[in-house]
Structure 1
Amino acid sequence: MSEKTTLQKDFYRESGKWLSKFEIFKKCFNPNLHFIYLFRTTQKHPKNTVLGKFWRLVLRHYQIKYGFQIYPETQIGEGLYLGHWGLLAINPKVIIGKNCNIAQGVSIAQANRGKFIGTPIIGDEVWIGPNAVIVGGITIGNNVLIAPNVYLAEDVPDNSLVIGNPCRIFNIHNATEGYINNKV
Protein backbone atom coordinates (compact mmCIF):
# COMPACT_ATOMS: atom_id res chain seq x y z
CA MET A 1 0.00 0.00 0.00
CA SER A 2 1.30 3.45 -0.85
CA GLU A 3 2.24 5.94 1.83
CA LYS A 4 -0.60 8.37 2.60
CA THR A 5 0.08 12.10 2.33
CA THR A 6 -0.43 14.56 5.16
CA LEU A 7 -3.36 16.01 3.24
CA GLN A 8 -5.01 12.59 2.92
CA LYS A 9 -4.54 12.06 6.67
CA ASP A 10 -6.16 15.44 7.40
CA PHE A 11 -9.17 14.59 5.21
CA TYR A 12 -9.39 11.08 6.72
CA ARG A 13 -10.07 12.71 10.10
CA GLU A 14 -13.25 14.29 8.69
CA SER A 15 -14.75 11.29 6.90
CA GLY A 16 -13.01 8.17 8.19
CA LYS A 17 -12.31 7.23 4.56
CA TRP A 18 -9.11 7.34 2.55
CA LEU A 19 -9.75 9.67 -0.35
CA SER A 20 -8.14 10.04 -3.76
CA LYS A 21 -6.86 13.43 -4.93
CA PHE A 22 -10.07 13.94 -6.91
CA GLU A 23 -12.27 13.04 -3.92
CA ILE A 24 -10.25 15.47 -1.76
CA PHE A 25 -10.81 18.21 -4.33
CA LYS A 26 -14.59 17.50 -4.34
CA LYS A 27 -14.72 17.89 -0.53
CA CYS A 28 -13.14 21.35 -0.73
CA PHE A 29 -16.61 22.92 -0.82
CA ASN A 30 -16.49 22.64 2.96
CA PRO A 31 -14.67 25.82 4.16
CA ASN A 32 -12.72 23.93 6.87
CA LEU A 33 -11.42 21.31 4.44
CA HIS A 34 -10.81 23.91 1.74
CA PHE A 35 -8.63 25.90 4.11
CA ILE A 36 -6.70 22.80 5.19
CA TYR A 37 -6.13 21.95 1.52
CA LEU A 38 -4.76 25.45 0.83
CA PHE A 39 -2.69 25.47 4.05
CA ARG A 40 -1.00 22.14 3.26
CA THR A 41 -0.47 23.09 -0.39
CA THR A 42 1.16 26.37 0.64
CA GLN A 43 3.44 24.55 3.10
CA LYS A 44 4.85 22.44 0.24
CA HIS A 45 6.32 25.45 -1.55
CA PRO A 46 9.33 27.45 -0.29
CA LYS A 47 8.45 31.02 0.63
CA ASN A 48 10.77 32.76 -1.86
CA THR A 49 9.73 30.82 -4.99
CA VAL A 50 7.14 31.98 -7.49
CA LEU A 51 4.78 29.16 -6.51
CA GLY A 52 5.44 29.86 -2.84
CA LYS A 53 4.46 33.51 -3.24
CA PHE A 54 1.41 32.57 -5.32
CA TRP A 55 0.10 30.04 -2.78
CA ARG A 56 0.74 32.43 0.14
CA LEU A 57 -1.34 35.06 -1.67
CA VAL A 58 -4.17 32.56 -2.21
CA LEU A 59 -3.94 31.38 1.41
CA ARG A 60 -4.05 34.99 2.65
CA HIS A 61 -7.24 35.61 0.68
CA TYR A 62 -8.92 32.61 2.32
CA GLN A 63 -7.55 33.48 5.76
CA ILE A 64 -9.55 36.69 5.48
CA LYS A 65 -12.59 35.02 3.90
CA TYR A 66 -12.90 32.15 6.40
CA GLY A 67 -11.42 33.80 9.51
CA PHE A 68 -8.58 31.29 9.98
CA GLN A 69 -5.34 33.01 10.90
CA ILE A 70 -3.00 30.04 10.50
CA TYR A 71 0.26 30.71 8.70
CA PRO A 72 2.23 28.23 6.58
CA GLU A 73 5.17 28.53 9.01
CA THR A 74 3.05 26.98 11.77
CA GLN A 75 4.13 23.40 12.41
CA ILE A 76 1.00 21.25 12.62
CA GLY A 77 1.15 17.46 12.54
CA GLU A 78 -0.93 15.24 10.30
CA GLY A 79 -4.57 14.65 11.09
CA LEU A 80 -5.53 18.29 11.70
CA TYR A 81 -9.27 18.74 12.21
CA LEU A 82 -10.92 22.16 12.26
CA GLY A 83 -14.37 21.61 13.73
CA HIS A 84 -16.01 24.87 12.71
CA TRP A 85 -14.83 27.73 10.59
CA GLY A 86 -14.21 31.28 11.64
CA LEU A 87 -12.24 33.39 14.08
CA LEU A 88 -9.25 31.18 14.77
CA ALA A 89 -5.78 32.62 15.43
CA ILE A 90 -2.57 30.61 15.80
CA ASN A 91 0.86 32.23 16.15
CA PRO A 92 3.24 31.05 13.39
CA LYS A 93 5.81 29.85 15.97
CA VAL A 94 3.39 27.41 17.60
CA ILE A 95 4.06 23.67 17.28
CA ILE A 96 1.05 21.33 17.25
CA GLY A 97 1.21 17.52 17.18
CA LYS A 98 -0.86 15.07 15.18
CA ASN A 99 -4.58 14.26 15.45
CA CYS A 100 -5.54 17.60 17.00
CA ASN A 101 -9.02 19.11 16.91
CA ILE A 102 -9.33 22.88 17.07
CA ALA A 103 -12.74 24.56 17.42
CA GLN A 104 -13.87 28.08 16.49
CA GLY A 105 -12.81 31.12 18.47
CA VAL A 106 -9.52 29.58 19.64
CA SER A 107 -6.43 31.75 20.13
CA ILE A 108 -3.01 30.14 20.51
CA ALA A 109 -0.66 33.02 21.17
CA GLN A 110 2.77 34.21 22.22
CA ALA A 111 3.54 35.72 25.63
CA ASN A 112 6.11 38.51 25.64
CA ARG A 113 6.63 38.80 29.39
CA GLY A 114 6.20 36.86 32.59
CA LYS A 115 7.15 33.35 33.60
CA PHE A 116 6.21 31.65 30.31
CA ILE A 117 7.65 33.85 27.55
CA GLY A 118 7.26 32.26 24.10
CA THR A 119 4.70 30.16 22.24
CA PRO A 120 2.94 26.92 23.15
CA ILE A 121 4.04 23.43 22.15
CA ILE A 122 0.99 21.20 21.90
CA GLY A 123 1.25 17.40 21.88
CA ASP A 124 -0.64 14.69 19.98
CA GLU A 125 -4.36 14.00 20.28
CA VAL A 126 -5.34 17.30 21.86
CA TRP A 127 -8.93 18.55 21.66
CA ILE A 128 -9.25 22.33 22.02
CA GLY A 129 -12.78 23.57 22.67
CA PRO A 130 -14.47 26.74 21.40
CA ASN A 131 -13.09 30.10 22.55
CA ALA A 132 -10.14 28.60 24.44
CA VAL A 133 -7.09 30.82 24.82
CA ILE A 134 -3.68 29.15 25.09
CA VAL A 135 -0.80 31.53 25.66
CA GLY A 136 2.89 31.48 26.47
CA GLY A 137 5.87 29.18 26.26
CA ILE A 138 4.00 26.28 27.78
CA THR A 139 3.96 22.59 26.93
CA ILE A 140 0.71 20.68 26.60
CA GLY A 141 1.07 16.91 26.72
CA ASN A 142 -0.60 14.17 24.69
CA ASN A 143 -4.24 13.12 25.11
CA VAL A 144 -5.41 16.41 26.60
CA LEU A 145 -8.92 17.85 26.44
CA ILE A 146 -9.09 21.63 26.82
CA ALA A 147 -12.68 22.61 27.57
CA PRO A 148 -14.46 25.60 26.01
CA ASN A 149 -13.62 29.10 27.30
CA VAL A 150 -10.46 28.05 29.13
CA TYR A 151 -7.60 30.51 29.58
CA LEU A 152 -4.49 28.33 29.73
CA ALA A 153 -1.06 29.74 30.60
CA GLU A 154 0.63 26.83 32.39
CA ASP A 155 2.07 23.45 31.48
CA VAL A 156 -0.32 20.51 31.17
CA PRO A 157 0.81 16.89 31.63
CA ASP A 158 -0.27 13.98 29.41
CA ASN A 159 -3.77 12.51 29.93
CA SER A 160 -5.40 15.60 31.35
CA LEU A 161 -8.67 17.50 31.34
CA VAL A 162 -8.40 21.30 31.57
CA ILE A 163 -11.53 23.20 32.62
CA GLY A 164 -12.57 26.55 34.02
CA ASN A 165 -11.24 30.05 34.16
CA PRO A 166 -8.93 30.19 36.06
CA CYS A 167 -8.12 26.75 34.71
CA ARG A 168 -7.99 23.57 36.73
CA ILE A 169 -6.16 20.48 35.51
CA PHE A 170 -7.37 16.95 36.25
CA ASN A 171 -5.56 13.73 35.35
CA ILE A 172 -7.87 11.49 33.31
CA HIS A 173 -6.57 8.42 31.49
CA ASN A 174 -8.87 8.67 28.43
CA ALA A 175 -9.39 12.42 28.36
CA THR A 176 -10.08 12.66 24.62
CA GLU A 177 -11.92 9.38 24.14
CA GLY A 178 -14.97 10.05 21.98
CA TYR A 179 -13.74 13.53 21.10
CA ILE A 180 -10.98 12.66 18.64
CA ASN A 181 -12.22 10.24 15.99
CA ASN A 182 -10.59 8.66 12.93
CA LYS A 183 -7.05 8.92 14.25
CA VAL A 184 -4.20 8.47 11.79
Structure 2
Amino acid sequence: MRNAFVEDIHRFVGIKRELTARKAIRAVLREYGLQALMGYRLGRFLLRSRRKPYLWPVLPFGWLFYFLLTGFVRVSYDIRLHLNADIGPGLYIGHFGGILLDRCKLGKHCTVSQSTRIHAGDGDVGPVLGDRVWVGAHAQIIGPHTIGTGSTVSAAATVLRDIPEKTLCMGNPARVVIQGYDNTVILLLA
Protein backbone atom coordinates (compact mmCIF):
# COMPACT_ATOMS: atom_id res chain seq x y z
CA MET A 1 0.00 0.00 0.00
CA ARG A 2 2.75 2.43 0.98
CA ASN A 3 4.74 2.17 -2.24
CA ALA A 4 1.64 2.47 -4.42
CA PHE A 5 0.45 5.53 -2.50
CA VAL A 6 3.90 7.14 -2.78
CA GLU A 7 3.73 6.65 -6.57
CA ASP A 8 0.23 8.17 -6.52
CA ILE A 9 1.62 11.22 -4.72
CA HIS A 10 4.47 11.46 -7.26
CA ARG A 11 1.91 11.64 -10.08
CA PHE A 12 0.09 14.52 -8.39
CA VAL A 13 3.21 16.44 -7.31
CA GLY A 14 5.11 15.81 -10.53
CA ILE A 15 7.22 12.81 -11.43
CA LYS A 16 10.39 14.80 -12.09
CA ARG A 17 10.14 16.91 -8.94
CA GLU A 18 11.70 15.91 -5.66
CA LEU A 19 9.09 14.65 -3.22
CA THR A 20 9.32 16.28 0.20
CA ALA A 21 7.05 15.75 3.19
CA ARG A 22 5.65 19.26 2.78
CA LYS A 23 4.74 18.69 -0.89
CA ALA A 24 3.18 15.32 -0.04
CA ILE A 25 1.03 16.76 2.76
CA ARG A 26 -0.02 19.68 0.58
CA ALA A 27 -1.00 17.30 -2.22
CA VAL A 28 -3.05 15.09 0.12
CA LEU A 29 -4.91 18.11 1.49
CA ARG A 30 -5.53 19.81 -1.87
CA GLU A 31 -5.99 17.05 -4.44
CA TYR A 32 -9.39 15.35 -4.34
CA GLY A 33 -8.20 12.55 -6.62
CA LEU A 34 -5.41 11.78 -4.18
CA GLN A 35 -7.88 11.77 -1.28
CA ALA A 36 -10.00 9.23 -3.17
CA LEU A 37 -6.92 7.09 -3.84
CA MET A 38 -5.91 7.32 -0.19
CA GLY A 39 -9.30 5.91 0.81
CA TYR A 40 -9.04 3.16 -1.81
CA ARG A 41 -5.49 2.16 -0.79
CA LEU A 42 -6.51 2.15 2.88
CA GLY A 43 -9.50 -0.09 2.12
CA ARG A 44 -7.37 -2.55 0.16
CA PHE A 45 -4.83 -2.60 3.01
CA LEU A 46 -7.60 -3.31 5.53
CA LEU A 47 -8.94 -6.16 3.39
CA ARG A 48 -5.48 -7.75 3.28
CA SER A 49 -5.01 -7.15 7.03
CA ARG A 50 -7.86 -9.48 7.96
CA ARG A 51 -5.36 -12.35 7.69
CA LYS A 52 -2.96 -10.76 10.20
CA PRO A 53 -4.16 -11.36 13.79
CA TYR A 54 -1.76 -8.81 15.28
CA LEU A 55 -3.65 -6.04 13.40
CA TRP A 56 -7.14 -7.11 14.52
CA PRO A 57 -7.30 -4.65 17.48
CA VAL A 58 -6.86 -1.62 15.18
CA LEU A 59 -9.00 -2.82 12.25
CA PRO A 60 -12.29 -1.36 13.56
CA PHE A 61 -10.70 2.10 13.78
CA GLY A 62 -9.20 1.70 10.32
CA TRP A 63 -12.56 0.72 8.83
CA LEU A 64 -14.24 3.65 10.59
CA PHE A 65 -11.72 6.06 9.06
CA TYR A 66 -12.10 4.34 5.67
CA PHE A 67 -15.90 4.69 5.64
CA LEU A 68 -15.72 8.33 6.77
CA LEU A 69 -13.11 9.21 4.14
CA THR A 70 -14.77 7.38 1.25
CA GLY A 71 -18.18 8.70 2.26
CA PHE A 72 -16.80 12.24 2.19
CA VAL A 73 -15.15 11.64 -1.20
CA ARG A 74 -18.32 10.13 -2.71
CA VAL A 75 -20.60 12.91 -1.48
CA SER A 76 -18.23 15.82 -2.09
CA TYR A 77 -16.45 14.78 -5.29
CA ASP A 78 -18.58 11.92 -6.71
CA ILE A 79 -15.54 9.67 -7.09
CA ARG A 80 -16.26 5.98 -6.47
CA LEU A 81 -13.27 3.64 -6.41
CA HIS A 82 -14.66 0.26 -5.40
CA LEU A 83 -12.46 -2.16 -3.51
CA ASN A 84 -13.02 -4.88 -6.12
CA ALA A 85 -11.16 -2.73 -8.66
CA ASP A 86 -7.45 -3.49 -8.97
CA ILE A 87 -5.77 -0.11 -9.42
CA GLY A 88 -2.06 0.00 -10.15
CA PRO A 89 0.28 2.58 -8.63
CA GLY A 90 0.45 6.10 -10.00
CA LEU A 91 -3.19 6.61 -11.00
CA TYR A 92 -3.96 10.28 -11.72
CA ILE A 93 -7.48 11.66 -11.29
CA GLY A 94 -7.30 15.27 -12.42
CA HIS A 95 -10.95 16.28 -12.24
CA PHE A 96 -13.80 15.24 -9.97
CA GLY A 97 -17.36 14.24 -10.74
CA GLY A 98 -18.98 11.06 -11.98
CA ILE A 99 -15.95 8.76 -11.78
CA LEU A 100 -16.67 5.06 -11.26
CA LEU A 101 -14.05 2.30 -11.21
CA ASP A 102 -15.64 -1.06 -10.40
CA ARG A 103 -14.58 -4.65 -11.18
CA CYS A 104 -11.72 -3.57 -13.41
CA LYS A 105 -7.94 -3.69 -13.51
CA LEU A 106 -5.80 -0.63 -14.22
CA GLY A 107 -2.07 -0.75 -14.88
CA LYS A 108 0.62 1.64 -13.68
CA HIS A 109 0.45 5.40 -14.31
CA CYS A 110 -3.01 5.55 -15.87
CA THR A 111 -4.99 8.80 -16.08
CA VAL A 112 -8.75 9.01 -15.62
CA SER A 113 -10.76 12.17 -16.36
CA GLN A 114 -14.12 13.35 -15.08
CA SER A 115 -17.39 11.48 -15.70
CA THR A 116 -15.51 8.33 -16.63
CA ARG A 117 -17.01 4.91 -16.02
CA ILE A 118 -14.87 1.79 -16.15
CA HIS A 119 -16.81 -1.27 -15.02
CA ALA A 120 -17.97 -4.78 -15.90
CA GLY A 121 -21.53 -3.81 -16.78
CA ASP A 122 -23.86 -6.77 -16.27
CA GLY A 123 -21.07 -9.36 -16.31
CA ASP A 124 -18.61 -10.49 -13.66
CA VAL A 125 -15.40 -9.75 -15.56
CA GLY A 126 -14.46 -6.13 -16.11
CA PRO A 127 -12.07 -4.23 -18.36
CA VAL A 128 -8.29 -4.56 -18.13
CA LEU A 129 -6.26 -1.42 -18.87
CA GLY A 130 -2.54 -1.67 -19.52
CA ASP A 131 0.11 0.72 -18.21
CA ARG A 132 0.03 4.44 -19.12
CA VAL A 133 -3.51 4.44 -20.51
CA TRP A 134 -5.19 7.85 -20.74
CA VAL A 135 -9.00 7.89 -20.51
CA GLY A 136 -10.72 11.14 -21.53
CA ALA A 137 -13.73 12.86 -20.02
CA HIS A 138 -17.14 11.18 -20.28
CA ALA A 139 -15.58 7.98 -21.65
CA GLN A 140 -17.04 4.58 -20.82
CA ILE A 141 -15.26 1.25 -20.88
CA ILE A 142 -17.82 -1.46 -20.23
CA GLY A 143 -17.36 -5.22 -20.21
CA PRO A 144 -14.46 -7.68 -20.41
CA HIS A 145 -12.31 -5.71 -22.84
CA THR A 146 -8.57 -5.09 -22.87
CA ILE A 147 -7.07 -1.66 -23.50
CA GLY A 148 -3.44 -2.01 -24.57
CA THR A 149 -0.46 -0.34 -22.91
CA GLY A 150 0.04 3.29 -23.92
CA SER A 151 -3.38 3.66 -25.53
CA THR A 152 -5.60 6.73 -25.41
CA VAL A 153 -9.39 6.65 -25.14
CA SER A 154 -10.70 10.04 -26.26
CA ALA A 155 -13.42 12.07 -24.60
CA ALA A 156 -16.97 10.68 -24.84
CA ALA A 157 -15.80 7.38 -26.33
CA THR A 158 -17.64 4.18 -25.48
CA VAL A 159 -15.34 1.17 -25.66
CA LEU A 160 -17.18 -2.06 -26.45
CA ARG A 161 -14.27 -4.13 -27.82
CA ASP A 162 -10.53 -4.67 -27.30
CA ILE A 163 -8.15 -1.82 -28.15
CA PRO A 164 -4.53 -2.64 -29.19
CA GLU A 165 -1.40 -1.05 -27.71
CA LYS A 166 -0.40 2.55 -28.52
CA THR A 167 -3.56 3.54 -30.32
CA LEU A 168 -5.93 6.47 -30.21
CA CYS A 169 -9.57 5.45 -30.22
CA MET A 170 -12.63 7.66 -30.33
CA GLY A 171 -16.32 7.56 -31.08
CA ASN A 172 -19.41 5.77 -29.89
CA PRO A 173 -18.75 2.88 -30.28
CA ALA A 174 -15.02 3.51 -30.09
CA ARG A 175 -12.91 2.69 -33.11
CA VAL A 176 -9.15 2.95 -33.62
CA VAL A 177 -8.26 6.20 -35.36
CA ILE A 178 -4.45 6.21 -35.13
CA GLN A 179 -2.10 3.23 -34.74
CA GLY A 180 1.28 3.85 -33.09
CA TYR A 181 -0.06 6.86 -31.16
CA ASP A 182 2.31 8.18 -28.48
CA ASN A 183 0.43 9.50 -25.43
CA THR A 184 3.47 10.36 -23.29
CA VAL A 185 2.96 14.10 -23.84
CA ILE A 186 -0.62 13.86 -22.56
CA LEU A 187 0.48 11.84 -19.52
CA LEU A 188 3.18 14.39 -18.66
CA LEU A 189 0.64 17.23 -18.82
CA ALA A 190 -1.69 15.44 -16.41
Normalised to the residue count of structure 1, the TM-score between the two structures is 0.84
8 Å contact kept, 1:42–1:55: no
8 Å contact kept, 2:136–2:153: yes
Name the structure 2 match of 1:41.
Answer: 42
CA distance in 1, matches of 2:66, 2:13: 27
Q: Tell me the CA shift for residue 50 of structure 1.
A: 1.3
Q: Tell me the CA shift for residue 35 of structure 1.
A: 2.1
Name the structure 2 match of 1:9.
Answer: 7
Deviates more, 1:49-58 or 1:128-137: 49-58
Deviates more, 1:64-73 or 1:32-41: 32-41
Closer/same/farther in 2, CA of residues 182 and 21 from structure 1, 3 Å limit = farther
Of residues 42, 66, 77, the one that matches 2:88 is: 77
Identical pairs, percent: 23
8 Å contact kept, 2:13–2:23: no
Closer/same/farther in 2, CA of residues 55 and 73 from structure 1, 3 Å limit = farther
CA distance in 2, matches of 1:24, 1:81: 15
2:154 paired with 1:143: no
Of residues 45, 60, 69, the one that matches 1:50 is: 60
The total of aligned residue pairs comes to: 176
Closer/same/farther in 2, CA of residues 24 and 166 from structure 1, 3 Å limit = same
Deviates more, 1:52-61 or 1:157-166: 52-61
Structure 1, unmatched stretches of 5+, are none
2:187 match: secondary structure: coil
4+ residue segments displaced more than 6 Å:
none
1:7 match: secondary structure: helix
CA distance in 2, matches of 1:7, 1:107: 22
Closer/same/farther in 2, CA of residues 42 and 10 from structure 1, 3 Å limit = same
8 Å contact kept, 1:14–1:182: no
The alignment yields a C-alpha RMSD, in angstroms, of: 2.3
8 Å contact kept, 1:63–1:70: no
CA distance in 2, matches of 1:122, 1:151: 14
Name the structure 2 match of 1:107.
Answer: 117
Using CA pairs under 8 Å that are at least 6 residues apart, name the structure with larger relative contact order, 1 or 2.
1
Closer/same/farther in 2, CA of residues 182 and 41 from structure 1, 3 Å limit = farther
Matches within 5 A, 1:108-127: 108-112=118-122, 118-127=125-134
Higher helix proportion: 2
Q: Tell me the CA shift for residue 171 of structure 1.
A: 4.5
CA distance in 2, matches of 1:41, 1:70: 12
2:160 paired with 1:160: no
Deviates more, 1:14-23 or 1:70-79: 14-23
8 Å contact kept, 2:168–2:181: no
